[in-house]
Amino acid sequence: MKADRLVSLLLLLQSAPRRTARELAGRLEVCQRTIYRDVDALCASGVPVFTERGVDGGIALADGYRRALLNFGDEEIRALFVSGSAILTDLGLGASFERALEKLRGGLGDVQRRAAEHARKRIHIDQRRWNQADPPLEKLALLRRAVWDDRRVDLRYEDRRRAVSMRSADPFGLVSKAGVWYLIARTADGMRSFRVDRILEVNERADRFERPAAFDVEAYWRETAAKMLEGQPRDYPVVMLADRDALEQLNGYCPCDILDEREGLLLRVGFSGKEAALRFCVAWGGRIRLIEPSELAEAIVEYAKELQATYAAAALA
């Protein structure tokens, strides 16, 4: 497309004091006549581009116009070119993202281009958990279009209890949390967050909705997530002894208070109830040692006896 080519031409001109029409034609895979027509189009749109004749001549931008892109620092370039576009790929924008980076790379100077390649080869971001299922790409692409265009959608949704319902929703935004996508939408019951992988069917409607001018999906998600964490009950405190290197992992599951650090880590961990604490302690096995409450220790022993009896009977069968 001509618009894409003009952007690429502009970036190439920004990366060097001047370039010949032959060089530009080779880089953009067009004829020199097309390059001159594109230069005329840039001039008509107000871009200060000019041509110089002679041995050292070529096509160039005014110096002041070139400085904006060339003033990127190394850290700024690295931030742009860190590898990992899984989220954009989920939304069907992965190829567009790579083309945009390629255009930007073509407009960089040699030092900046090396900084970009340095970042791409050394840091990669993978936001998927191990063994996580692939996201529903077709549904995400459809929802992205509905979010862009402010179009209502009809959803057939299965909740966590496997109950299926039909919903009419105004899609305000999409959020990826640890590789899991959520649709933020307004329904007849107010604002809701729908897991996209639980959407069984989605149909875009012809009618549009009016989005509140002040709505910001990032601010909404932060506020919702904070309320969710605050609302989780932690009414069942458990004291346990754990290795020092386990603290970071433990904090990933539930908040921990350090009571003593002299012999390992003596921790107080808050759970929503006895059953949640039991499941946690059984899962961690010998990596932690329960100190109190004693009723939880008794429950763990009973659970272990039941498990042993079950598998002993299975072994004899």
| pLDDT tens digits along 173-209 | 999 987 889 999 999 999 999 999 999 999 999 999 9
Give, as one character, the DSSP assignment of residue 259: E
Predicted local distance difference test score (pLDDT) of residue 277: 87
Encode pLDDT of 27-79 as tens digits. Answer: 888 898 988 888 888 888 778 888 888 777 889 888 766 655 556 677 777 77
Burial class of residue 91, CB neighbours in 10 A (0-12, 13-18, 19+): buried
Instruction: Say if residue 82's pLDDT is above 80.
Output: no
The fold of the 137-216 domain, in CATH, is SH3 type barrels. (2.30.30)
| 85-127 pLDDT per residue, tens | 778 888 888 887 877 777 677 667 677 778 888 888 888 878 7
For the residues 272-295, what does the mean pLDDT come to?
Answer: 87
Cis peptide before 233 (omega within 30 of 0): no
Q: pLDDT digit string (tens) for 232-276?
A: 666 788 998 887 777 766 766 677 788 888 777 888 888 888 888
Residue 158's pLDDT is 93
> Residue 69 has what pLDDT?
55
Sign of CA dihedral 277, 283, 284, 290: positive
Q: What is residue 197's predicted lDDT score, i.e. its pLDDT?
A: 92
Which conformational region is residue 285 in: left (phi greater than 0), alpha (psi within -120 to 50 degrees), or beta?
A: left
Tens-place pLDDT, residues 120-175: 888 887 877 777 788 888 999 999 999 999 999 999 999 888 899 999 999 999 99
Domain boundaries, the chain: 2-122, 137-216, 236-316
Residue written as token pair 């954009």: 88
Pick the CATH number of 236-316 from 3.30.70, 2.60.40, 3.40.50, 3.90.1570: 3.30.70
User: Looking at residues 11-36, what average pLDDT do you find?
Assistant: 85
127 neighbors 87 (Cβ within 8 angstroms): yes
The CATH class for the domain spanning 2-122 reads mainly alpha
Banded model confidence at residue 216, pLDDT cuts 50, 70, 90: very high
Residue type, 9: L
Between CA 43 and CA 96 the distance in angstroms is: 26
Residue with tokens 């008794």: 298
- The reported pLDDT for the residue numbered 273 is 84
Please report the pLDDT score of residue 311 as a whole number.
Answer: 86
Query: What is the SS3 assignment for 265?
Result: strand
Res 9: pLDDT: 82
Quote the pLDDT of residue 317: 59
pLDDT confidence of residue 1: 55
